[in-house]
Chains A and B, each alone.
Chain A
Amino acid sequence: MTTYQYTDVVPAPRRPWDHRRSTALRAVLLVVLSGVFGKLLTTTTGLGGFLGWYVGLAVAMPVLAFVGSVRHGWNLASDRFATSMVSVAFAAVTIPWVSIVVTVYQKGSKAFHSKYLTDDMRITPSSDLLEYGGVAHAIIGTLIMVVIASLIAVPLGVLAAVYIVEIKGRFAKMVRFLTQAMSGVPSIVAGLFIYATVVILFGGFSAWAGALSLVILMLPTVARTSEEVLKIVPDDLRSASYALGASQARTTFRVVLPTIASGLVTAAVLGIARVVGETAPLILTSSYFVARSTSLTDPIASLPIYIFSSLGLGDDNATTRAWGGSLVLLGVVFVLFALARILSSRLSRK
């Protein structure tokens, strides 16, 4: 007969899945060895530069990981192989991102001078020395068109979201589906449509036409983001409002929408970030222009067109100007995104 002995000793809690120091050491060793292999490859074969080295590393790392652990069995080896592959592939994806930001900054900052943001190109040809001219006209033009586009697209987008979430109408599914379909409209088609209507009917390129083409591209982003934000409003709020005798209109405008005001601003900001750099529709609607203008019925300059048309000239100084414009544009997009993050984090804290 067996007797079981019970003891008071409780085993110390362990977390077997925690990374141990040897794990980190192994990873570092793997990367270093692969890096050395990449270096060897660039010195012995035709592969060159950073990319050549990276290709060497990317090939060596999964192989080394596999070979190093195959003695522990197939399962572990394939797991380590997969981990290396996934990490190497993701790192490869970030290379163009970093390259874009670095290149835009390096080349773009050469175009900057003390009055770059306050001068325009009215008396300066694009091939002129870099200390003349600037992008003020393009910034003003972009600002005007984006503001008009937002004034139209944001209310429409929010109302579409209200229809889907608050009213839950008969066509709610269809509206969501159509908004999705609209986000797939190629930007050049939006421009072509405005050209076929507004530009032809009202005699020529104008800031109006440009703004309207941006509305088509902005609306889906605003509608989608607002819908997601509206969904997080707790139903208790609505019930409480109805219980106090408020109508649905009053509930929506006085309770639901104010609760998520910062979320709606986020939606607007994301929509603006989506369209601020749109080039193709503006080629067909607001056209190139070098001087400052605030008239809504005349052609107007914009940052993307400034970049696009400077680049097309093939001149060194003009190309540098294109990079300068890109730096401004990229800066604007980054700032808009930071703004959206801050606003939405404020919302989630509520």
Chain B
Amino acid sequence: MESPPEQREIETNYTRVDRVFRGFVATAALFSLVVLILIAAFLLYRGFEIFADFGLSFITSSTWNIGNPEDPTTAVLGIGAMLVGSVLTAFIAILFAVPFAVASALFIEFYAPRFLRTLLTAVLDLVAAVPSVIYGIWGYVVLLPLVEDWSVTLNKYLDWIPIFGVETPIFGRSPFLAGLLLAIMILPIVTSVAREVYSQAPRDLIDASYALGGTKWAGLRTVVLPFGRSGLVGGAMLGLGRAMGETVAVYLTLNLVFKVNFQVLASAGGNVASLIANKFGEATAYELKALMAAGLVLFLVTLLVNFMASVVVNRARKIV
């Protein structure tokens, strides 16, 4: 019996033009890597003195005192309060945004009629692209008076809960307001990630649930929601990253006070991004270095959050 022909090794030999082309495209594609490295490198380079002078206390302390502008050794700088503020406002935002995002995603994907579904998906993209300065001005002018009223009421009846108490009854530009505004801003992105994951839920399992006499809600509860859980976590973390890096909207709706403040209704707080925007204008040379260092911390924190978010989202997409 004749043996089958030996398997040939197939190899691709690119022409010289193609080799140049492939090298060129690869170089251009690595631009994002270069930029990310350069960002970290330059912010570290400009802010290195601060880390050398203050060490870990730059991250933990919450004093921001430039001392004598002529003499940098008198300065005491720390972004502890701002980091707490970033996390607190972003956390409030997630707390409000996630339940509404789940409901919106379910509504768009499973309850809305087909013509409305396409329309709402487009609207979601559009709302996600509304500039943050417009959210900021709206939050400052429209939302602020409303939230002030709600804060007074909350404080009146719930001030025995520590986070709803205030030391001085000034309620205006509080972490609560900023968090609520951030929730409105990140809702579109969380919703679209959730919707995308929900839309990939296995149709046959949903149909099986119907076939067993289950209602629509039974199908959603037993199939879609568990299926989309990890995608939702990823979307929420994506929103968390956005909320922590938001500048202008927080600048306009949160009073910059260098104090670790967990009283969400009190008019004091700040986040790292708004600190940079706030102090940049009239910063001394030394303070500017501190802002660079603060920028580096913010960059690394958001990078970490986004990194984890993309791992989770990608894993959720891959299951399908």
A binds B: yes
User: Which A residues lie at the B interface, using CB under 8 A?
Assistant: 46, 51, 75-76, 78-79, 81-83, 85-87, 89-90, 92-93, 96-97, 99-100, 103-104, 107, 155-156, 159-160, 162-164, 166-167, 169, 171, 174-175, 177-190, 192-193, 196-197, 200, 216, 219-220, 223, 247-250, 252, 270, 273-274, 276-280, 283-284, 304, 307-308, 311, 319, 322-323, 326, 329-330, 333-334, 337, 341
- Considering residues B25, B100, B218, B280, which has the most beta carbons from chain A within 10 angstroms of its beta carbon? B25
Whether B155 is near chain A, meaning CB under 8 Å from some CB there, is no
Please determine whether B292 and A196 come into contact, CB atoms closer than 8 angstroms. yes
In contact, B131 and A278 (Cβ under 8 angstroms): yes
Given contacts A82-B220, A92-B100, A311-B140, A197 and B29 within 8 Å (CB-CB): no
From A83, A155, A247, A250, contact of B217 by CB (8 A): A83
Beyond A196-B292, A283-B280, A329-B133, 8 additional pairs, beta carbon < 8 A: A83-B217, A155-B28, A163-B25, A180-B306, A181-B32, A188-B276, A247-B15, A280-B277
The 3 tightest CB contacts between A and B, nearest first, are A277-B131, A186-B245, A184-B306
Q: Which of B90-146 contact A (CB under 8 A)?
A: 99-100, 103-104, 106-108, 111, 122-123, 125-127, 129-135, 137-138, 140-142, 146
Known contacts being A100-B138, A181-B303, is A193 close to B32, with CB within 8 Å?
A: no
Are B31 and A160 closer than 8 Å at their CB atoms? yes
Interface residue from B30, B140, B295 paired with A171 (Cβ < 8 Å)? B30
Per the bound structure, the CA–CA distance linking A266 and B103 in Å amounts to: 30
Instruction: Give the CA-CA distance A284 to B46 in the complex, in Å.
Output: 15
How near does chain B come to A257, taking the closest CB pair, in angstroms? 12
B14 at the A interface (CB under 8 A) = yes
Q: Are B111 and A86 in touch, CB under 8 angstroms?
A: yes
CB within 8 Å for A192 and B43 given contacts A178-B36, A184-B303, A326-B137:
yes
Measured between beta carbons, the chain A residues less than 8 angstroms from B305 are 184
Contact of B29 among A169, A323, A329 (CB under 8 A): A169
Centre residue among B123, B137, B142, B146 by max chain A CB count within 10 A: B137
A220 and B32 contact, CB distance less than 8 A: yes
**Interchain CA distance A324-B165 in the complex, whole Å:** 38
B122, B216, B273: the one within 8 Å of A280 (CB): B273
Contact of B39 among A93, A193, A273, A278 (CB under 8 A): A193
Q: Which of A51, A83, A323 has the most CB of B within 10 A?
A: A83
Pick the contact of B241: A184, A188, A326 (CB < 8 A).
Answer: A184
Select which of B103, B191, B246 is within 8 A of A85 by beta carbon: B103
Residues of A within 8 A of B273 (CB): 186, 188-189, 280
Max chain B Cβ within 10 angstroms of own Cβ: one of A107, A163, A174, A274:
A163
Q: Could you say which residues of chain A place their CB within 8 Å of the CB of B103?
A: 85-86, 89-90, 93
Q: Which residues of B contact A252 (CB under 8 A)?
A: 21
Pick from B133, B138, B291: contact of A279, CB under 8 Å = B133
Chain B contact residues: helix, strand, loop or mixed = helix
Chain A positions within 8 Å of B123 at CB level: 97
Most buried by B among A78, A93, A250, A311: A93
Those of B24-81 within 8 Å (CB) of chain A = 24-26, 28-33, 35-36, 38-39, 42-43, 45-46
Would you give 5 A-B contacts (Cβ < 8 Å), ordered by A?
A: A104-B134, A160-B31, A175-B33, A188-B276, A326-B137
Residue of B nearest to A287 (CB): B281
Residues of A within 8 A of B127 (CB): 97
Taking Cβ atoms with an 8 Å cutoff, the residues of B that contact A are 14-15, 17-18, 20-22, 24-26, 28-33, 35-36, 38-39, 42-43, 45-46, 99-100, 103-104, 106-108, 111, 122-123, 125-127, 129-135, 137-138, 140-142, 146, 153, 184, 187, 191, 214-218, 220-221, 238, 241-242, 244-248, 252, 273, 276-277, 280, 291-292, 295, 298-299, 302-303, 305-307, 309-310
User: In the complex, how many residue pairs between chain A and chain B have their CB atoms under 8 Å apart?
Assistant: 248
Q: Is the CB of B277 within 8 A of A51?
A: no
One of A46, A181, A279, A341 near B36 (C-beta < 8 A): A181
Establish whether residues A304 and B131, one from each chain, have CB atoms under 8 Å apart when the complex forms: yes
What A residues does B36 contact at CB under 8 A? 178, 181-182, 185
B111 near A196: Cβ-Cβ < 8 Å: no
Task: Say whether, besides A180-B306, A196-B42, A196-B292, A189 and B107 are in contact (CB < 8 Å).
Answer: no
> Contact check: which of B21, B38, B99, B276 meets A192 at CB < 8 Å?
B276
A93 proximity list for chain B (CB < 8 A) = 100, 103-104, 187, 191
- State the CA gap A76–B247 with chains docked (Å): 46
Residue from B33, B131, B241, B306 with most neighbouring chain A CB atoms (10 Å):
B131
When the two chains form their complex, are residues A182 and B22 in contact, meaning their CB atoms are under 8 A apart? no
Q: Which single member of B122, B129, B218, B299 contacts A273 (CB below 8 Å)? A: B129
Find out whether the CB atom of A159 lies under 8 angstroms from the CB atom of B137: no
